[in-house]
Amino acid sequence: MEKEKKKPERKKGFNYMKRRNVEYGFSVISLLIMAPVFIAITVFLVAIPRSEKSEIEKRNLAKVPEFTAESYFSGEYTAGLTEFYDDTVPDRDDFKNVGYNFKSLFGVHTEDEVKVVGHPINVVNKEDSKSSVKSKTSKETSSDKQESKTGKVEETTQSSESAKPEESKEPDEQSEEEPEYQVENGIIVVKQNGHYRALELFGGGTGNNYVNALNRFQQDLGDKVQIYSMIAPLASEYYTPDSYKDHTVNQKETFDSIAERLDDGIISVDIDTVLGQHTDEDIYLRTDHHWSPLGAYYAAQTFAQAAGVDFYDLGTFEKKDIDGFVGTMYAFTGDADIKNDPETFTYYVPDNNDKCTTYYYDTAFGYSGTGNFFNGIGDASNAYLTFMGGDEQIIKVKTNVQNGRKLVIVKDSYGNAIPGYLFKSFEEIYVVDMRYFDLNLVDFIEQNDVTDLLFAMVTYSAVGDNADNLENLRTQAKGKKIVDEALKEED
């Protein structure tokens, strides 16, 4: 409708006056059609109570910003108001669902379709990505050789002047030790056995920061504590269709390379192979970025064998279901098929759960109370919160077992599903999130007489940014006395 065509000559006798009147009259009618729609939407947005939470995106929606001179002149205030208005649309999630359904009309749908979200790169043909992994690895070996007496690794690329003594290096700088990697590699949605499954592809990475941090923990803790490294593969390890195998890095190779570089004293728990034997069971959630509690069960079993502790068959657990679960991958992909194909979230409660106490602490180990490990917060919109209710905390589970074994699990959210299977294997289990822990982990382990330290996380955490924080856990807030206020209260 940009430039209109030249008006052609009208037929003789064309009544211009009449046409003008018709045009005028029907323009009024046109406005009478359009204006009510515009007004109705405006009234709906202005007058109806606003949404506060998005179940799809699993987040609280924007709030009205606070007005200050500073926030106004920086533009934050007005931007915040716009965001508030746009973000808190009444019935927001329903409209989003309608929108995603509309967008599904854009494409051709076939039985074996693969829907692509993000940037899947070809990781096999791409020489650069392969050689960069290799070169980083070899660089790491050479920098290992330069390890100073204090146990600090200096970058080989740094000039000798910049080689600083141990204490001067801020924890933040650790992240600079390893250049950024392409760990995110897009998501594909595939249909398998009649159900849709969203798969995060893996772009590769070396895990240098993970390896370095664990080796230093081993040096600090020595023989007193047994360290285990257990990295969970992403679901794409098993469910990627053949046509996309070139677009996701083989995670087993990454794990093997990490295991090779870990100190001999650290036990690498290979769950990649174990999970690979159960791929026809529901070991991963189809609509979420997590594995399923069943996948975590096989992992916990493998870990228990490695740790030489008792472990009980799944039949001894009480099975519980949350139906109609749609996970985070819906919000990530905006794919209506994921939304319309919910799954059942099945989790397992140990039969000694009543005899165990779960203590909840904040991220600085400030005690906040006891509760059930399977706290019942998890529902169809956020089933994974079933375990401890989230990540931003420290918890301790005191079990009825007495075998002198105390375990610390350093984890991301994948690890949340593990502790429940170990209630009959350890006397005490501490669960620490690698992203939210304000204490010194070495002090924490030593002062609590911990015997076993398990690093349990997904590939992305081990080779991505999260791993940067592991070194911080080792070096931050050193030398403080750690008091467990829960014990005081019990006394």
Binding to other proteins, residues 174-193 (CB under 8 A):
182, 186, 188
Q: How far is the CB of 47 from other proteins (least distance, A)?
A: 11
Exactly one of 12, 13, 17, 29 binds other proteins (CB under 8 A); that residue is 29
Exactly one of 55, 114, 340, 448 binds other proteins (CB under 8 A); that residue is 114
Exactly one of 80, 121, 287, 338 binds other proteins (CB under 8 A); that residue is 121
Which stretch, 108-116, 275-283, 303-311, 453-461, contacts other proteins (CB under 8 A)?
Answer: 108-116
Which stretch, 29-37, 157-165, 251-259, 280-288, contacts other proteins (CB under 8 A)?
Answer: 29-37
Q: How far is the CB of 301 from other proteins (least distance, A)?
A: 36
For 445-451, which contacts have Cβ atoms below 8 Å and span 24 or more sequence positions? 445/221, 445/225, 445/408, 446/221, 446/224, 447/481, 447/482, 448/406, 448/408, 448/482, 448/484, 449/406, 450/225, 450/406, 450/407, 450/408, 451/224, 451/225, 451/226, 451/404, 451/405, 451/406, 451/407
> Could you tell me the two tokens for 221?
């803790």
Exactly one of 30, 219, 305, 403 binds other proteins (CB under 8 A); that residue is 30
Question: With respect to other proteins, which residue has the nearer C-beta, 77 or 444?
Answer: 77
Angle at 379 between CA 378 and CA 384, to 5 degrees: 45
The verdict on 18 binding other proteins (CB under 8 A) reads yes
Q: In the window 125-144, what residues touch other proteins (CB under 8 A)?
A: 125-129
Q: How far is the CB of 100 from other proteins (least distance, A)?
A: 8
Please name the residues in contact with 284: beta carbons below 8 A apart, sequence gap of 6 or more.
Answer: 197, 235, 238, 239, 290, 291, 292, 295
Q: How far is the CB of 328 from other proteins (least distance, A)?
A: 16
Which stretch, 106-114, 208-216, 362-370, 411-419, contacts other proteins (CB under 8 A)?
Answer: 106-114
> Could you tell me the two tokens for 421?
């299977």
The verdict on 113 binding other proteins (CB under 8 A) reads yes
Residue linked to tokens 């794409």? 236
**Is residue 231 a contact partner of residue 192, using CB atoms and an 8 Å limit?**
no
As a whole number of angstroms, the distance between CA 147 and CA 130 comes to: 26
Is the torsion defined by CA of 273, 279, 284, 287 positive or negative? positive
Q: In the window 231-290, what residues touch other proteins (CB under 8 A)?
A: 243-244, 246-247
Give the gyration radius of the chain's Cα atoms. Answer: 28
Exactly one of 55, 117, 171, 320 binds other proteins (CB under 8 A); that residue is 117
Question: With respect to other proteins, which residue has the nearer C-beta, 331 or 462?
Answer: 331
Q: How far is the CB of 102 from other proteins (least distance, A)?
A: 7
Annotate each residue in 388-427 with x if it binds other proteins (CB under 8 A) or - if it does not, as one string: ----------------------------------------
Q: How far is the CB of 2 from other proteins (least distance, A)?
A: 5
Exactly one of 50, 65, 118, 476 binds other proteins (CB under 8 A); that residue is 118
Q: How far is the CB of 338 from other proteins (least distance, A)?
A: 14
Question: With respect to other proteins, which residue has the nearer C-beta, 96 or 406?
Answer: 96
**Is residue 241 a contact partner of residue 114, using CB atoms and an 8 Å limit?**
yes
As a whole number of angstroms, the distance between CA 462 and CA 455 comes to: 9
**Is residue 485 a contact partner of residue 360, using CB atoms and an 8 Å limit?**
no
CA dihedral 482, 484, 489, 490 (to 10 degrees): -130
Which residue, among 276, 286, 353, has the nearest Cα to 320 in the 3D structure? Answer: 353
Which stretch, 75-83, 397-405, 442-450, 470-478, contacts other proteins (CB under 8 A)?
Answer: 75-83
Q: In the window 81-100, what residues touch other proteins (CB under 8 A)?
A: 81-83, 85-87, 89, 92, 95-96, 98-100
Residue linked to tokens 């359009």? 34
Q: How far is the CB of 482 from other proteins (least distance, A)?
A: 42
Q: How far is the CB of 43 from other proteins (least distance, A)?
A: 9
Question: With respect to other proteins, which residue has the nearer C-beta, 63 or 355?
Answer: 63
As a whole number of angstroms, the distance between CA 96 and CA 179 comes to: 37
Number of residues that bind other proteins (CB under 8 A): 77
As a whole number of angstroms, the distance between CA 470 and CA 174 comes to: 10
Angle at 119 between CA 115 and CA 123, to 5 degrees: 105
**Is residue 291 a contact partner of residue 417, using CB atoms and an 8 Å limit?**
yes
Which stretch, 19-27, 359-367, 465-473, 482-490, contacts other proteins (CB under 8 A)?
Answer: 19-27
Annotate each residue in 33-72 with x if it binds other proteins (CB under 8 A) or - if it does not, as one string: xx--xxx-xx--xx-------------------------x
Q: How far is the CB of 478 from other proteins (least distance, A)?
A: 37
> Could you tell me the two tokens for 391?
């990540």
**Is residue 472 a contact partner of residue 212, using CB atoms and an 8 Å limit?**
no
Question: With respect to other proteins, which residue has the nearer C-beta, 293 or 334?
Answer: 334
Q: In the window 440-479, what residues touch other proteins (CB under 8 A)?
A: none
